Amino acid sequence: MTGPFRTIASLAGPRHLTGLAMLTAAMALSESVGLVLLVPLVAALSGPGALPGMPIALPEWSLETMLAVFVALVAARAVADIWRNLLAQRLQIAVVDGLRDRAVTALLHADWRAVSTMHQSRNRALIVTSVDRVGEAVHHFAGLVRAAIALVALALAALAIAPLFALGCVLAGGIALGLLRGLRVDARRLGEALSRRYDEVYLRLEQTLSALRLVKSFGRERAEAQRLADAFRSMRVAETAYVRSAAIARAALQVGAAVMLALGVWFAVERWDVAAPVLLAFVAIGVRAIPLIEALQVAAQGWNHAAPALEEAQALIARTEAAAEVGADKTPRHGTSLALEAVSLAHGRDRSAIEGVSFAIPRGAIAALTGPSGSGKSTIADLLGGLVSPDSGRVLVDGLPLEGGARQGWRSRVAYVQQEPVLFSGTVRENLLWAKPDATPVELDRALDRAAAGFVRTLPEGLDCPLGEGGRALSGGERQRLALARALLREPDLLILDEATNALDGASEAVIADAVAALRGHCTVLVIGHRGTLTEIADLRFRIEGGRLRAS
């Protein structure tokens, strides 16, 4: 568990941790001093000779002075409690936000080859939900420290009053916590089960929503609703199991502590003849210690229950940071040619995705790459676009290998349009500026014209027209032309159209094909598809089957 504790310490920072520990210690010390002062206070109220012998010398203050000190200690503790709660909140925010930022940053900067093999629904569940559970772990961690420090302070106060009686109480509390160790261990198992349930819920929800059209077409609404309900129910069962375990621990401690306190008072009165002031102070200490022992058990269970979420986040960060891309070097510019030279690449399978592929595309040409599904077309697009590097062979830009930082730099000269256009909630202008935030109005107009997307000017608010989620306010052809305009706004050296017109009707495909044909000589275009108008206007055609280049 040293890894999670180290992560919390690094994200929270020494200032937060030190301040929290100091405030907690100060509060515990003030409470202990106040409890010790009960002995002379009660003795003063009982009359002369009531003060029993104690291991430490107590001040011979007047009643007024002792009452004033007692009130001052309570006031100081109340103020310190405010500071401590605020500091604990800041610590929790620092850890949760820091962990989430680090996870997102690592994921975004990881090599595409590593990222593409991950289950993104699981990553979403982890970043959104599991990292919030880390906040619970931090809360329980702080509670653990707070309860432990307070109990140590109470034990010191008890030792100052009657050492043997205090040692007996400490031993009894330790035995009680030891007997509940099984529940603390079980809390971790329940936490791991809850993480699995979260993963299942996110996966099921994503699958259902992404297939909503199919669900309705097949009349599967009720069945899918039931499957989602079952997934959520399994998550609630896992949550309830932990709540039940924590409640059992609290009840057991409350009953056990009450029995031990009652036995202690009985022995103190009937067998040991303990002085009334000492007995009163011990009862006060016991009454305060019981909820602290309970808090210690609950915090330990809570930490074990939430720790798996922290470990999952650590694992994601470690995996993605290990796959981080190197910094971008000087950006290569496509001057004459783009080529693959005996390139092979496998995606973790025994059979290569592509094997021994070689071809060249001159600058400004339109090249078509065709072949059946799964033949390796998109893999070649990823190689030429600088997203991945080959296992063997070379990707060449003007004869220079595309490797290391040059690969990341080359991506700034590449634009990509996929089959299902990705548009963001917001206006047309915001979607275009996403590709080039500093683009001028002239550049925006030029990109729209080059993509045959002049329809934007007829929209109710023009460039400032809201598109809705995923651009649902537009037709399929309009969405694709807007995606093309966004790509062209970058003035790319290489434009990759990956099945960009497969889902469009003939009229929309013809409009986009005319726009692409007009790019000939201005930028290199790689068209990926099975067939269609875009492949027909190509200057060069390459066919890939089974990962190998075939005669076109």
Where residue 222 sits, what CATH number does that domain have? 1.20.1560.10
91-135 pLDDT tens trace:
888 888 888 898 888 888 888 888 888 888 778 878 888 788 888
Q: What is d(CA 294, CA 150) in angstroms, rounded to the nearest whole number?
A: 12
Domain endpoint, select from 322, 349, 375:
322
pLDDT band for position 50 (cuts 50, 70, 90): very low
pLDDT at position 247: 86
Indicate whether 198 pLDDT > 50: yes
pLDDT at position 331: 63
Does a structural domain hold residue 301?
Answer: yes
Domain hosting 486: range is 337-550
Same domain, 10 and 116: yes
Sheet with 414-417, edge to edge strand ranges = 414-417, 494-498, 524-528, 366-370, 540-545, 548-550
Same domain, 7 and 138: yes
319-328 pLDDT tens trace:
888 888 876 6
pLDDT band for position 168 (cuts 50, 70, 90): confident
Does a structural domain hold residue 329?
Answer: no
Helices (H), 385-440: 405-410, 428-433
pLDDT at position 443: 93
Share of the chain above pLDDT 70, in %: 87
Same domain, 260 and 365: no
- Paired tokens of 526: 């790689």
Does a structural domain hold residue 331?
Answer: no
255-295 pLDDT tens trace:
877 787 777 777 777 776 667 767 777 777 777 777 888 88
467-484 pLDDT tens trace:
877 777 788 788 888 888
Same domain, 215 and 114: yes
Question: DSSP state, 466?
Answer: B
pLDDT at position 526: 93
Same domain, 278 and 425: no
Per the structure, the count of domains in the chain is 2
Same domain, 369 and 452: yes
pLDDT at position 42: 63
Same domain, 352 and 283: no
Q: Please return the burial class of 177, using the count of CB atoms within 10 Å of its CB with bins 0-12, 13-18 and 19+.
A: middle
pLDDT at position 440: 92
Instruction: Yes or no: say if 290 and 253 are a contact pair by the CB < 8 Å rule.
Output: yes
pTM of this structure? 0.72
Domain endpoint, select from 322, 350, 375:
322
349-370 pLDDT tens trace:
556 788 889 999 999 899 989 8
294-322 pLDDT tens trace:
888 888 888 888 888 888 888 888 888 88
Same domain, 457 and 425: yes
Does a structural domain hold residue 285?
Answer: yes
Work out the average pLDDT over 448-459: 87
Q: What is the mean pLDDT of the chain?
A: 81
Indicate whether 408 pLDDT > 80: yes
Domain endpoint, select from 322, 348, 368:
322
Indicate whether 491 pLDDT > 80: yes
Indicate whether 186 pLDDT > 50: yes
Work out the average pLDDT over 36-63: 60
Q: What is d(CA 339, CA 343) in angstroms, rounded to the nearest whole number?
A: 10
- Paired tokens of 439: 């683009």
215-265 pLDDT tens trace:
887 788 888 889 889 888 988 898 898 888 888 888 887 787 778 777 777
What is the number of residues in the chain?
Answer: 552
Does a structural domain hold residue 332?
Answer: no
Give the DSSP per-residue string, 490-521.
T--SEEEEESTTTTS-HHHHHHHHHHHHTTTT
pLDDT at position 351: 62
